[in-house]
A and B are shown apart, each in its own frame.
Chain A
């Protein structure tokens, strides 16, 4: 029983990180029909940038964090939209998707060659430790990851549903033509979703890297998990991505313990296949219709 509780908490913690990545994924899809196959690398890179700033520029850690955050928002929030999505979107969804695959390879290989091929320690914001609850040993780090991610997601959800800008973002996603007629600057709204996506990736990166170490290949696992989470939950709903993230995180952890750790990565894929077969719009998604 206590092992089960521990597994659930660990699952929720990883799930929260998947959810952060999956939510960014669905946001950019909704406003700009961009399927970002580099989403995993987006989560991998910010931590590497921090370590690189410390190593090469000898920056103190807080400065390095600020530099990494600023640089990443500029390059992979603004720059990604301006210099990859905008020029490629003219050619259609598929060329754009392939361009993001190329970007993911570029980011991964650059991190490997430019920084290190080895997994690196990443400083944790939360001290090591554990608390006892219901006879289970719960890691403080897992709890902190879960809390921070949930606060960020709730905050984002409140922003999207409760503010004027948030509603303008939704309008841009649901009906760009009319949104433009109403005088909403849809370009700015789309840019905002890309910045939010980059921000969520940074947060996910800083939360997960202390646990799994910062490594150039981290994006593979996270990217796949986020992609599965988004599809399982429903691609066109933020709450779908949220639920999908937690489901994949839980399934992942429970499968590792109770099924086989060798097949842990396969179990979410089975879930993915089942969802696509029986509820292709996702568990919480709505059917999507597009007019041309």
Chain B
């Protein structure tokens, strides 16, 4: 399904063009450009403070970029609000956990998927699941959360909440998913299952991923291409093998 990654037939799903975000004199993101193609898993790596999260927040409309453009399937989405992006099929996971703690795993999933459908009246009078129970069950099965489906999300372990967070991002059948450090703080066993699940869902749903991650092994084995950032700029873009061999990247990461 994503065999055409290197030779895209159509235009990019996401295009970031000359994006800048300055906070006063600090150039957190300073002219970043890259493209993400259909079905691709693109990784973004870089040392702490290199502007990865700011870049994400600009793409996702949580920050207004100072300059530059973001397009989704050729349409400008620069500066649109998060909810509007969500409607257009862009979803995200969070670096710090953002589940609804007093709702069950299943309810969290249904909530994450329900907003597209329904008028005010159907929301008031309609069934509680909005027909999303089946979809939620699918995600629960897919992310191996079956034994936790009726537990409050707040009581889950950190790794389990990360899985739930990821599952929530896929509920609305997104076109593009931005994952902010999905592996952060997740133990090794859970990590393997997370990676395997993400790969499987990428194939199955045909969604396009952009992943920010610090865990090198995770990024290098999951992603088809990797963007390396340093000090707000793109240092290199390439396949994991190219990135590993790039002297500039080695220097940025390992020092002199």
Q: Does B100 belong to the interface (CB within 8 Å)?
A: yes
Q: Does B74 belong to the interface (CB within 8 Å)?
A: no
Which B residues touch A164, using CB under 8 A? 114, 118, 122-124, 126, 128, 130
Q: Does B227 belong to the interface (CB within 8 Å)?
A: no
Measured CB to CB, the closest approach of chain B to A135, in angstroms, equals 44
A side interface size, CB within 8 A:
21
Q: Does A183 belong to the interface (CB within 8 Å)?
A: yes
With A165-B124, A167-B107, A170-B103 known as contacts, the answer to whether A175 contacts B98 (CB < 8 A) is yes
Question: B82 to A167, Cβ gap below 8 A?
Answer: no
B112: nearest residue on chain A (CB-CB)?
A: A182
Question: B124 to A174, Cβ gap below 8 A?
Answer: no
Interface positions of B from 148 to 162, Cβ below 8 Å from A: 154
Alpha-carbon distance A180/B62, docked complex (angstroms): 11
Which A residues touch B4, using CB under 8 A? none
Question: B103 to A183, Cβ gap below 8 A?
Answer: no
Which B residues touch A168, using CB under 8 A? 111, 123
B61: nearest residue on chain A (CB-CB)?
A: A181
Q: Does A260 belong to the interface (CB within 8 Å)?
A: no
Q: Does B102 belong to the interface (CB within 8 Å)?
A: yes
Which B residues touch A170, using CB under 8 A? 100, 102-103
B side interface size, CB within 8 A:
29
Q: Does A178 belong to the interface (CB within 8 Å)?
A: yes
**Most B C-beta atoms less than 10 A away, residue of A168, A182, A286, A291:** A182
Mark each residue of chain B from 112 to 131: 1 if its CB lies under 8 Å from any CB of chain A, else 0: 10111010001111101010
Q: Does B208 belong to the interface (CB within 8 Å)?
A: no
Measured CB to CB, the closest approach of chain A to B231, in angstroms, equals 28
Measured CB to CB, the closest approach of chain B to A56, in angstroms, equals 36
Which A residues touch B122, using CB under 8 A? 164
Which A residues touch B124, using CB under 8 A? 163-165
A178: nearest residue on chain B (CB-CB)?
A: B98
Question: A183 to B115, Cβ gap below 8 A?
Answer: yes
B125: nearest residue on chain A (CB-CB)?
A: A163
Mark each residue of chain A from 152 to 193: 1 if its CB lies under 8 Å from any CB of chain B, else 0: 000000000011111110110011011111111000000000
Alpha-carbon distance A168/B122, docked complex (angstroms): 13
Contact of A286 among B87, B99, B102, B110 (CB under 8 A): B102
Contact of B115 among A162, A177, A182, A291 (CB under 8 A): A182
Q: Does B250 belong to the interface (CB within 8 Å)?
A: no
Measured CB to CB, the closest approach of chain A to B226, in angstroms, equals 26
Question: A180 to B83, Cβ gap below 8 A?
Answer: yes
Q: Does B78 belong to the interface (CB within 8 Å)?
A: no
With A167-B107, A171-B100, A286-B102 known as contacts, the answer to whether A180 contacts B123 (CB < 8 A) is no
Alpha-carbon distance A109/B255, docked complex (angstroms): 72
Alpha-carbon distance A170/B82, docked complex (angstroms): 20
Which B residues touch A181, using CB under 8 A? 82-83, 86, 92
Mark each residue of chain B from 228 to 248: 1 if its CB lies under 8 Å from any CB of chain A, else 0: 000000000000000000000
Alpha-carbon distance A175/B96, docked complex (angstroms): 13
Alpha-carbon distance A58/B101, docked complex (angstroms): 52
With A182-B83, A183-B115 known as contacts, the answer to whether A167 contacts B103 (CB < 8 A) is yes
Which A residues touch B128, using CB under 8 A? 162-164, 166-167
Alpha-carbon distance A206/B124, docked complex (angstroms): 26
Alpha-carbon distance A182/B101, docked complex (angstroms): 16
Measured CB to CB, the closest approach of chain B to A237, in angstroms, equals 8
Question: A175 to B99, Cβ gap below 8 A?
Answer: yes
Contact of B100 among A165, A174, A183 (CB under 8 A): A174
B102: nearest residue on chain A (CB-CB)?
A: A174
Measured CB to CB, the closest approach of chain A to B143, in angstroms, equals 18
Question: A183 to B123, Cβ gap below 8 A?
Answer: no
Interface positions of A from 3 to 60, Cβ below 8 Å from B: none
Which B residues touch A166, using CB under 8 A? 128
A185: nearest residue on chain B (CB-CB)?
A: B83
Contact of B98 among A163, A165, A167, A177 (CB under 8 A): A177
A30: nearest residue on chain B (CB-CB)?
A: B102
Which B residues touch A177, using CB under 8 A? 98
Measured CB to CB, the closest approach of chain B to A191, in angstroms, equals 13
Contact of A171 among B94, B111, B118 (CB under 8 A): B111
Given contacts A164-B123, A182-B115, 12 further A-B contacts (CB under 8 A): A164-B118, A164-B122, A165-B123, A167-B111, A167-B128, A171-B100, A180-B83, A181-B92, A183-B87, A183-B116, A184-B83, A184-B115
| Chain A to chain B contacts (Cβ below 8 Å), 19 pairs | A163-B124, A164-B124, A164-B128, A165-B124, A167-B111, A168-B123, A170-B100, A171-B100, A174-B100, A174-B102, A175-B98, A178-B94, A178-B100, A180-B83, A181-B86, A182-B83, A183-B87, A183-B116, A184-B83
A interface residues with partner B (beta carbon < 8 Å): 162-168, 170-171, 174-175, 177-184, 286, 291
What 5 pairs between A and B have smallest CB-CB spacing? A183-B115, A183-B83, A181-B82, A174-B100, A164-B123
